[in-house]
């Protein structure tokens, strides 16, 4: 279905949040992605599709409004998306994904995001605020710097609206066992959710396994193309 651009905002260095209104109500669960296709984009690359997989960064309750967020890049897709104007449409294709909040709220959750991997967690946090369920959450968010950390201020505000939520920005350093253990002394108790670009996933997942966290306690989503 078509979705029309309502708002475009710079939320970090080279990072955009785009809010759309779909022509019909949409259904998704926090953590899921959509396939977003540009319609007659100004830039194209031969042999490369005009569509990308992008996670929702809004609560399903906001439907037919929804938000996506992405880093700018030299790709034709990203250059075209960056200059999309208010009122212009994109095509929202299939919605899917199994990167979902566990239903059990008794067990604490440790969320670990790198770069744009923060988007599904924003959707989850907004949803938890909407449904008022007592999740206990620690969120580690790795970025090169404060300037490249998307949704930074919003995450700080969530610490006020969510009673059992702690935001731990990991800036100018790599996520490590010592950072994890500093904030999560009993590392075997929580369920882990891990999302980000392949290089981050390929280092953080083995780190958690090496620390003895069973793979069955780690839910992952790799932001590969």
Interacting residues toward ligand FAD by CB under 6 A: 33, 47-49, 52-55, 69-71, 73, 75, 77-78, 97, 116, 119, 221, 223-225
CB closer to ligand FAD out of 191 and 220: 220
CB closer to ligand FAD out of 49 and 199: 49
Nearest-approach distance from CB 82 to ligand FAD, in angstroms: 11
CB closer to ligand FAD out of 70 and 127: 70
The angle formed by the CA atoms of residues 215, 216 and 220, to the nearest 5 degrees, is 70
Residues contacting residue 137 through CB under 8 Å, at least 6 positions apart: 108, 109, 110, 111, 125, 128, 162, 164, 165, 166
CB closer to ligand FAD out of 113 and 137: 113
For residues 30 and 126, what is the distance between their CA atoms, to the nearest angstrom? 9
For residues 191 and 210, what is the distance between their CA atoms, to the nearest angstrom? 16
Considering Cα of 170, then 212, then 124, then 50, what sign does the dihedral take?
A: positive
Coil/strand/helix, residue 204: helix
CB closer to ligand FAD out of 115 and 190: 115
Nearest-approach distance from CB 108 to ligand FAD, in angstroms: 24
């Amino acid at each position: 279905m078509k979705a029309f651009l309502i708002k475009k905002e710079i939320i970090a260095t080279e990072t955009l949040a785009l809010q759309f209104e779909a022509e019909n109500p949409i259904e998704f669960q926090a953590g899921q992605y959509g396939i977003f296709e540009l319609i007659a984009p100004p830039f194209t690359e031969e042999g490369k599709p005009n569509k990308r997989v992008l996670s929702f960064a809004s609560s399903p309750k906001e439907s037919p409004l929804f938000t996506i967020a992405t880093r700018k890049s030299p790709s034709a897709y990203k250059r075209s998306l960056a200059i999309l104007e208010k009122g212009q449409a994109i095509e929202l294709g299939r919605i899917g994904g199994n990167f979902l909040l566990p239903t059990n709220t008794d067990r604490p959750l440790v969320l670990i995001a790198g770069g744009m991997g923060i988007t599904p967690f924003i959707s989850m946090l907004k949803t938890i605020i909407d449904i008022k369920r007592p999740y206990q959450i620690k969120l580690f968010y790795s970025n090169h710097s404060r300037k490249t950390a998307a949704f930074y201020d919003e995450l700080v505000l969530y610490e006020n609206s969510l009673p059992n939520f702690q935001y731990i920005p990991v800036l100018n350093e790599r996520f490590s066992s010592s950072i994890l253990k500093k904030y999560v002394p009993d590392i075997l108790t929580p369920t882990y959710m891990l999302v980000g670009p392949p290089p981050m996933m390929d280092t953080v997942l083995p780190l958690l396994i090496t620390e003895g966290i069973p793979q069955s306690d780690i839910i992952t989503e790799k932001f590969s193309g």
